Structure 1
Amino acid sequence: MDSILDSIKKLLGPTETYDNFDTDLIFHINSALANLTQIGVGPAEGLSIEDDSSTWEEFVTDPIQLGHVRTYVYLKVKLVFDPPTNSAVLQSYENQVLKLEWLLDAAVNYKN
């Protein structure tokens, strides 16, 4: 799945055709992408999505970074859009976000 919006929607539960929350999701996705841009991931000018036409490959092309970026954006959106009620799960998501930020920062800023 190439569409950033559609893939995040699928992970969160709504079908691709259910668009009642698209504006909210786009807002949160753009925030997560901006965070990644701040640490040097993705295009220098950043990427802001407006609909389901924006793809992951527009943001990052490295296959290893792509996996981390997809997971990071999903978790960041999940934490603000539909946070888990269980505190252990919430802490696990937050820890994973921090780990992914560290890994991505290291990958782009501390190459040999």
Structure 2
Amino acid sequence: MTDSILNSIKGLLYIDESEKGFDSDIIMHINSVFMVLNQLGVGPDEGFTISDDSATWSDFLGKDKSLEGVKTYVYMKVRMIFDPPTSSSVMDSMKRSIDEFEWRLNIAASNKK
């Protein structure tokens, strides 16, 4: 897995790194999810945004391995906005997973402060 936030999310969305047509949309959605994470207490206190494929997960997470779930959470939230599942059962499952990740990430962030 690439450490680039944008490229890793694009890969999970089955979009080739060289395809740039959706970058502005995906970047906007990723930044919206970073806003939510900041409100949950996850990430830098001043917030975090990306503008291209140079921002890395290490830039956001630092060396903190206890927040690796952020990557899956960001992917699922972006997927629900950018390319939501057509199956209602898959969508419900993803929503439940997102809710659980939000709860767990919030607890992990609270334990660090």
Please, what TM-score do these two structures have when normalized by structure 2? 0.94
Paired residue type of 2:44:
P
C-alpha distance in 1 between matches for 2:49 and 2:83:
21
CA RMSD of aligned residues (A): 1.2
**Alignment match, 1:90:** 91
Residue in 2 aligned with 1:64?
66
**Contact 1:75–1:93 under 8 Å retained in 2:** yes
Partner of residue 75, structure 2? 74
**Deviation (angstroms), 1:111:** 5.2
Give the letter for the 1:100 counterpart.
F
Equivalent AA in structure 2 for residue 36 of structure 1: L
Tell me, which stretches of 5 or more residues in structure 1 are unaligned? none
Provide the rounded CA distance (Å) in 1 between the counterparts of 2:91 and 2:10: 19
2:29 is matched with 28
- Contact 1:46 1:59 (C-alpha < 8 Å) held by counterparts: no
**2:111, 2:56 → 1: CA distance?**
26
> After the TM superposition, which segments of 4 or more aligned residues of structure 1 sit over 2 Å from their partners?
none
Distance in 2 (CA, whole Å) between partners of 1:31 and 1:100 is 16
| Residue equivalent to 2:109 | 108
Number of residue pairs matched by the alignment: 111
Deviation of 1:32 (Å): 0.5
Aligned partner of residue 91 in structure 1, secondary structure: helix
Name the CA distance, whole Å, in 1 between partners of 2:24 and 2:112.
36
Query: How far has the Cα of 1:110 moved from its partner?
Result: 3.6
Structure 2 gaps of 5+ residues are none
Percent of paired sites with the same residue: 49
**C-alpha displacement of 1:84:** 0.2
Compare 102-111 and 77-86 and name the one that shifted more.
102-111
